[in-house]
Structure 1
Amino acid sequence: MAHSDLFAQRTKAMKASEIRELLKLLDQPDIISFAGGIPDPAHFPRDAFAKAMSLALDETSAGTSLQYAASEGYGPLRTWIADYMQTLGVTCDIDNIIITAGSQQALDYLGKLYLDKDDTALVEWPTYLGALGAFNAYEPRFDRLNAGENRTPDEIQNAARAAGGCVKFSYLSPDFANPTGKTLSRTERLAVLAQADALDCAVIEDGAYQALRYAGDDVPSLLALEFAQKGTLEACRTIYCGSFSKTLAPGLRVGWVVAAKPVIAQMVLLKQAADLQTATINQIAVNHVARSVFASHVETLRGVYGARLAAMLAALDKHMPDGVTWTKPQGGMFVWVTLPKSVDGRDLLEKALDARVAFVPGSAFYADGATTNTIRLNFSMSDEAKIDLGIARLAEVMRKAFLQ
């Protein structure tokens, strides 16, 4: 039997994640990997999680932690998130919050919730490839999110209608974006919100890296800016996706969504149909750890990762040949490198692996895959000495193979 003959047509748009494939290289100890957007396991709050798991499994708690629970999520954790969002300038209650299995699941749910076939999703160019993968399953059309550009909202919407649908949402990561590391200014964020109002579409704000700022001043989130404009979360079109993966630990798969109650109510139905709930014991453990060490742990990460970012920027400046440029983020986990137009990032990776250096070619982050002379470098997993060595190796590969 040829099972593939029975697969739904939408499966043809599904592709293996280049990042997930490259993560297999981490098992090779001689590889200097700048590939995955992975927190350094040396800095997981292991002791805090050990204590939290013990508390979750004691005689009085095990009946809750090992049991089915509400699809919306663990109440005390949602209360912590509501308090945390208040510090970001957003007033909400737990009915505005759903817990998801990481923010990746949230993106899948939101794609399912909003996108009919041939609808348009506005995305940054380039954008997070996990979002492209999540949305692709629902067969959308992708268009560039460039608020404030020459195209009018009518022109954007007319193009969407000509393709057979309409603009359903804008998706972006405004703080230290994956893959570019760029942060939108307050003015740029307001332009995104104004464009969404004109298009009457939703805004999906990916806040995965917002807490990881190492320099410069905080910029209010899109949701905070819209909340300040409209005065109530129920009037806001922004949907905020948060995650504990980059701050506490990714393996537990705990993220959250904050949005107007009708959005959350519909996402609860999707959750019930998909997996019933996020693992109760994981939510309880994250709640304990967030309440005990979140602020101090994030401050530690800022010191560690900030030093590594500085080391990568210094190494790029020291080693890279002429014609190569890169972003200079103030936070997050990534630096985006633009190569001479004659250099394909995928060809460079093939040769760099021979020199025992890995990264992600940039074409995977473009909805059309057309731009090939870019690469994404991660700095969170390597210490300063390894970063300098890896960038030196990469620069030497460029010189020998492509820039002679």
Structure 2
Amino acid sequence: MEWNNVLATRNARMKASEIRELLKLLDQPDIISFAGGIPDPALFPTEAFRDAFSAALTGPKAGAALQYSVSEGYRPLRDWIVAEMGKIGVPCTADNILITSGSQQALDYLAKLMISPNDTVLVGWPTYLGALGAFNAYEPSYDRLDPNTNRPAADFATKAEAAGGRVKFAYLSVDFANPTGETIARSARESVIDLADEMDIAVVEDAAYQTLRYDGEAIPPILALEIARKGSIENCRTLYCGSFSKSLAPGLRVGWVCGASEVISRLVLMKQAADLHSATTNQIVTHHVASTQFDAHVAKLRSTYQARRDHLLKALAREMPDGVSWTKPEGGMFIWLTLPETMDGADLLAQSLQSERVAFVPGRAFFADGSNGNTVRLSFSCADEAAIDEGMKRLGRLIRAQA
């Protein structure tokens, strides 16, 4: 059979994730990897999860852990999330929470809910490539969103109309963004709300790294700032996507969307049609571990990752040649390198794997238009001090040779 004859046109927009492919390199013991933006498995609260699974699968309630459940998600877990959202300035109820299979599924559902072919999504330049992958299936156009500039709303609208649709939402990773590690200032977050109100569009706030702050003062989420303006989450256009993948463990695939109940109810219908509900057992054990160990465990992560970030920043200052610059993130897992304009990150990676055995992610994949090839993402979450020192020594040597 010639499968291309029956495939939907959206398949042309679907591409393999460069990060997913690079993760295969982790099985090669001689590779020093700064590629995968993944938590250090040595830091997983393994014993706590073991105990939680045991508790969930024993006793009179064991059957419930293996049974179908409600599409909205396990109610005790949703109630725990409600309490945590309240701590960051987002008063809400369980009706404002949908449990998803990681925040990646939340991005897919929100794209499915709002994007028609040729509609426009406003994204950062660069932005999280997993978001681009989720949105691409629904055949949008993209336009560049820079919250630090006052680009007129009419300019966005005119360009979207020329592309054959209208602007539907702005997508932002606001704290320690993947890939740059940068944080959006409070004033810029406020300007995003202003723009969204003027254009009557939604805001999708990706908060996957929100708990991993090492320096500086915490900034309220966009949703919190909007609630402060409008009095209630039910009056807000911001949809907050949270995740346990970076704080507890990614393998359980537990995330959530927080937003106005009108939107959540529509997402619940999508959940019912797609997979009925996220895995019941995983939600139960996530609630058990979160409710007993979340704060202490996150404190441990912050201490460990901060030390690795600091060590990588020192190694970059020591090993990188002139013409290379990098971000200095206050949290998260990433540092973003800008190379000389004559260099290409993908070419550098190919040479690095062959001669230096150092892996990283080329930056071009994070740009909706495939531009800015002279960029590189480094992740420090799984690299110890020895790996950082040796890896940056090798990478600096290679860059100097190519400059």
TM-score of the superposed pair, with normalisation by structure 1: 0.99
Distance (whole Å) between structure 2 residues aligned to residue 257 and residue 184 of structure 1: 20
Point out where structure 1 has 5 or more consecutive residues left out of the alignment: none
Residue 6 of structure 1, CA deviation: 1.3
- Alignment match, 2:112: 112
Structure 2 counterpart of 1:386, one-letter code: A
- Alignment match, 1:220: 220
Task: Note the 1:64-143 alignment, pairs <5 A.
Answer: 64-143=64-143
Task: Note the 1:346-361 alignment, pairs <5 A.
Answer: 346-354=346-354, 355-361=356-362
- Alignment match, 1:376: 377
Task: Note the 1:233-252 alignment, pairs <5 A.
Answer: 233-252=233-252
Structure 2 counterpart of 1:270, one-letter code: M
What's the CA shift string for 1:260-313, capped at 9, x where partnerless?
Answer: 001100000000110000000000000000001000000000000000000110
Structure 2 counterpart of 1:201, one-letter code: I
Q: Segments of 4+ in structure 1 off by > 3 A?
A: none
Structure 2 counterpart of 1:46, one-letter code: T
Residue 56 of structure 1, CA deviation: 0.6
TM-score of the superposed pair, with normalisation by structure 2: 0.99
- Alignment match, 1:19: 19
Of stretches 238-247 and 140-149 in structure 1, the one that deviates more from structure 2 is: 140-149
Task: Note the 1:278-293 alignment, pairs <5 A.
Answer: 278-293=278-293
Residue 148 of structure 1, CA deviation: 5.0
1:176 matched to 2:179: no
Residue 150 of structure 1, CA deviation: 4.8
Task: Note the 1:238-387 alignment, pairs <5 A.
Answer: 238-354=238-354, 355-387=356-388
Size of the alignment, in residue pairs?
402
Residue 371 of structure 1, CA deviation: 1.3
SS in 2 for 1:205: strand
Residue 59 of structure 1, CA deviation: 2.3
Does structure 2 conserve the Cα–Cα contact (< 8 Å) formed by 1:326 and 1:336?
A: yes
SS in 2 for 1:71: coil
Distance (whole Å) between structure 1 residues aligned to residue 5 and residue 272 of structure 2: 29
What's the % identity of the aligned pairs?
Answer: 61
1:191 matched to 2:191: yes
Distance (whole Å) between structure 2 residues aligned to residue 375 and residue 330 of structure 1: 18
What's the CA shift string for 1:40-93, capped at 9, x where partnerless?
Answer: 000000011011001110122211100000000000000000000000011000
CA RMSD of aligned residues (A): 0.7
Structure 2 counterpart of 1:252, one-letter code: L
Distance (whole Å) between structure 1 residues aligned to residue 395 and residue 383 of structure 2: 15
SS in 2 for 1:332: coil
1:205 matched to 2:205: yes
Distance (whole Å) between structure 1 residues aligned to residue 363 and residue 40 of structure 2: 23
What's the CA shift string for 1:294-342, capped at 9, x where partnerless?
Answer: 0000000000000000011000000000000000001000000000000
SS in 1 for 2:272: helix
Distance (whole Å) between structure 1 residues aligned to residue 384 and residue 221 of structure 2: 30
Distance (whole Å) between structure 1 residues aligned to residue 183 and residue 371 of structure 2: 23
Point out where structure 2 has 5 or more consecutive residues left out of the alignment: none
What's the CA shift string for 1:167-194, capped at 9, x where partnerless?
Answer: 1000000100000000011111101111
Does structure 2 conserve the Cα–Cα contact (< 8 Å) formed by 1:324 and 1:337?
A: yes
1:165 matched to 2:165: yes
Does structure 2 conserve the Cα–Cα contact (< 8 Å) formed by 1:171 and 1:203?
A: yes
Structure 2 counterpart of 1:27, one-letter code: D
Structure 2 counterpart of 1:399, one-letter code: R
